Each structure stands twice: as C-alpha cells, then as structure tokens.
Amino acid sequence: MTGIDTSPPTAGKSGPVPIGPSGAQGLWGGRFNRGPGALMRAINASIAVDQRLWREDIEGSKAHAAMLAAQGIISSDDEKAIQEGLDAIGAEIAAGQFEFSEDLEDIHLNIEARLTERIGEAGKRLHTGRSRNDQVATDFKLWTRRALLAASHSLEALQIGLVRCAEAHADWILPGFTHLQTAQPVTLGHHLLAYVEMIARDDRRLRAAWSSADECPLGAAALAGTAYPIDREATALALGFDGPMANSLDAVSARDFALEALGALAIAAVHLSRLAEEIVLWTSPQFGFARLSDEWSTGSSIMPQKRNPDAAELVRAKAARIAANSAALLSIVRALPLAYSKDLQEDKALVFEAFDSFALMVGAMTGMIATTTFDRAAMRAAAARGFSTATDLADGLVRALAMPFRTAHHVAGAAVRRAEELGLSSLEDLPLAEFQAIEPRFTAEAQALLTVEASVAARLSFGGTAPVRVREQIARWRQELGIEEPETKEPGMEDGQ
C-alpha cells in the first residue's frame, strides 16, 4: 500500500531533481530553480510514518472545507467537490489503493495532491487559511486522543482479568517480599489487587491526558493566524474538541499533549513491567509458584526442558522503550524556540511506537494472567520459610503478655535463632517446649498463631492482606468494573430475591 522505497538513498539518486509540477515542489516549489537532492528528500520525508494520520487528515480537511464554505471563503460548489474528493481518497486509502509518494513528503501533501488530481482547481482551494503546521498539530492531536482512549479501554480488560484471578486465589498464600527477601505471608488475591489499583491510576492518567488535549490547533495557520475570516470555534467543535487553542504560536508548536500521553503511557508501561517481572520470577523453577500456559510459553531450540516466559520479558523491555520515547520527545521539545520547527516532525514515530508497544504489552499481560496456573502448595511452603511469621510471634507476645513491642521483638528474635540452630526454616515447626524455654508464659494457643494462615487472617487493617479484606476489595472492583457474578452462582439467587 505504501509504494515507498525504505532503503537508504544511493549515489545514483543523489543529484538534485529538476523542478517540476509533480512532487512536493509542485505544491511549494514556486520560488525554486531546482528541487532538493535525494538525501534532502530522504531526511525530509515523513510519509512512511505519518501516513497513519490519513483518517485524521481527511477529517480535519473536511471540517476546514465546510467552515471555509460556511464563511463564504470558498464556494459551496467547490466545497462539495472537496468533500466528495476527500471521501473518495479516504476510500482509496482504506482499500489499500492509494500510492503514497515519498516525493510528496508527508500525508498532508499526499492527500492534497491527490485531491487536486481528482477534482482539479477546487482542490487547490482547500489549503486557504491553513498551513501544514496547524494541520499536523490537529491531525496528531486527534490521533493521540483516540489512542489514549483505546489504551484506557485495554487497561480495563486487564483489570477485569486481574480481579478474576484475584478472586480465584483470594486466600492462596505466598511469601510477601521486601528486598526480595521473605518478609511476611500475603495472599495472592491481595498481591494481584495491588496491580488493579496501580492500573486504575494509570487509567486515570491516560484519561487526564485525553482531557487536557481538549483544544484544537486548526486555524492557527503557519504561526500567526490568518487574514481570512475563519471560524475556529466551528472547526474545533466539528472535530470533537471543546474549542480552539487561544494562541496561534502555541497552537502550532505545542506538543505537551503528546508528552503527557507518553508520560502517562510510560508510567503504565513501567507498572506492567513490574508484574511481568513477577511472572518471570514466579514461573522460574527456583520459585515454582506459577506455570504459564503453553499459549504463553516458548521453548528453547537446544534445551528441551525449557518453558520460557518470553512475552513477560518483552513486556519488561518494551516498557524501557516507551520510557525512552517519552524522554526522547521531551528532549526534542526542550529549548525549541517558537513556533514550528521541523524537529517536531520526529514526534510521531515516538508516539506511534509507544502506543503500538503498549497495545501488545497489555494484550500479552491480559492473556498471561487469564491462563497462568498457580501452585498453592509450593507458594504456601515458600511463604512459611524464612521465619515469615516472626512478626506474628512478637505481636502475640504483646497482646497476650502485654510485653512492650521492643521486648517482644527481642524474644521473637531469640526464637528465630533457636529454630535456625535446629535446622528449621519456619517458626511453624519449632516445638512448644523450645518457645517455653525462651519465654515460660508461652502457650499452645499463641503457637497456633504462627501459621501462615493465621498470619494473613490477622492482617485485618484496611488495605491489609487478610482474605476477608481482599474479598471486600474484590467486591468493590467487581462493581466498579461491572464484572458479572461468577457462573457458580445458582439461578434465582440474585441480590434482593
């Protein structure tokens, strides 16, 4: 569909081209004797990237043409021809029948040239009172707004998958880590809901970026506005914006909408990479907590036993690239004087790549979460190791014996040391007599609180890991995300019946 040669320019093509009616010179070459050389054309052309803006470009042109006619700037006959021509071009592109030309630089000139080819003189009137500078800012802003909404929707699907998985494992116990060292037992439901919370904030950031991109650059023209009596309010509203941007210099040079989008996307991607990393750890033979489905595993060409978590690893790495794209666009905009400079043409590849990667990342995470199986016994055993209930022992001494916490901490530490001497790895296995040798008032009831089940059940504080708290949060998320009740529910048992 592109018809573009993406190979590097060769010596044979390096001479300047004679100026002629075709190519971009046909659209802007009036003051030149010769056209640009091959390398100039190669560095200047953006059509390979910005052809993705074709829908937005046609939409923007249609709104502009309608406004020009309504304002009496072009005739209604010309407007009609332009509208029909643009629709026909849209159909050509959608059908893959459009020949994109690198000589026509970008999507704007490609479409405009084709329009004139199709409808003649009227096509040449479309660019009245506008510039590619406000045109590209408008197209790109429209595209970014749509991409933000699509990204936001995709995150909702992942959240739903995480909530379902959390519900199925609300009270399954695994070690909670600090410093990647066993800290205290937590429930898998609780762990997964941590990501649901993060992603909810990510979603809010994406929507906030959408909301702040609510003003339309179109009509700012090259940088200073235009002498034609245009109606910027009309084009802004026709394109779904709340209104026009109030300063023409700002309108053509601002890319903070893209920076905000990339920033929000980078944070969300980094969050996905943390979950991806946990999948890598959990599915490793060393942890053995989880197993990826065949669908989401890859094998090794030499080691027959392998089940590699490639998708999770790629999510990790793609997050780095999205963060890098965000940094790259910040650096492009940094210190750029007003108004438009061609530096800004490099914005689109960064944003397109980031959203493309993000879609793959969210899809992969959603797929992995839906199909990963967890090993309850292995997780429980790991949760008990490393004396993970030592805090519970100290808390128990505080509660039962009114011991000050610092003293209790010390006593619990002695119990851990004793267990270690005996070659045990869990306080669950230390005999009662050993506890009593350290603290004679220690009881069997107190010992019963040192299981990982008792440990998580005790953490009832709001936001804590106790299964009852986790189930409350699951119920809240079910409501929030509009998740149907589980299928196991009997018919006729709906609320209120």
Site residues (vs ligand ARG, CB under 6 A):
46, 50, 106, 132-133, 136, 340, 342, 344-345
Q: What residues have CB less than 8 Å from 483, skipping those under 6 apart?
A: 160, 163, 164, 477
What one-character DSSP code corresponds to residue 351? H
**Catalytic residue status for 131:** no
CA-to-CA distance for 279 and 277, rounded, in angstroms?
Answer: 5
Selecting among 75, 211, 212, 300, the annotated active-site residue is 300
CA-to-CA distance for 441 and 432, rounded, in angstroms?
Answer: 11
Q: What is the secondary structure of 193-204 as a DSSP string? A: HHHHHHHHHHHH
Residue 55 Cβ, how far from ligand ARG at the closest point, in Å?
Answer: 16
Residue 88 Cβ, how far from ligand ARG at the closest point, in Å?
Answer: 23
Residue 470 Cβ, how far from ligand ARG at the closest point, in Å?
Answer: 49
CB nearer to ligand ARG: pick between 50 and 102: 50
The CA-to-CA distance between both ends of the chain, in Å, stands at: 59
CB nearer to ligand ARG: pick between 193 and 258: 258
CB nearer to ligand ARG: pick between 17 and 48: 48
Q: Is the dihedral of CA 182, 188, 193, 195 positive or negative?
A: positive
Q: What is the secondary structure of 20-89 as a DSSP string? A: -SSTTHHHHGGG-SB---HHHHHHH--HHHHGGGHHHHHHHHHHHHHHHHHTTSS-HHHHHHHHHHHHHH
Query: What tokens appear for 297 in the block?
Result: 């595993």
Cis-peptide into 221, omega within 30 deg: no
Report CA-CA distances (Å) from 211 to 148, 254, 261: 10, 16, 11
Residue 348 Cβ, how far from ligand ARG at the closest point, in Å?
Answer: 6
CB nearer to ligand ARG: pick between 52 and 80: 52
CB nearer to ligand ARG: pick between 31 and 342: 342
Q: Residue type for 471, please?
A: R
Cβ neighbourhood burial of 29 (10 Å; 0-12, 13-18, 19+): middle
Contact 261, 209 (CB under 8 A): yes
CB nearer to ligand ARG: pick between 24 and 158: 24
Residue 49 Cβ, how far from ligand ARG at the closest point, in Å?
Answer: 8
Residue 228 Cβ, how far from ligand ARG at the closest point, in Å?
Answer: 19
Q: What residues have CB less than 8 Å from 64, skipping those under 6 apart?
A: 126, 129, 130, 218, 235
- Ramachandran class of 272: left when φ > 0, alpha when ψ lies in -120 to 50, beta otherwise: alpha
Contact 239, 60 (CB under 8 A): yes
Residue 210 Cβ, how far from ligand ARG at the closest point, in Å?
Answer: 22
Nearest residue to 52 (alpha-carbon basis) of 133, 110, 8: 110
What one-character DSSP code corresponds to residue 331? H
Q: Residue type for 235, please?
A: T
Residue 162 Cβ, how far from ligand ARG at the closest point, in Å?
Answer: 38
**Catalytic residue status for 153:** no
Helices and strands, counts by H and E, the chain: 20, 6
Residue 102 Cβ, how far from ligand ARG at the closest point, in Å?
Answer: 12
Active site residues: 179, 300
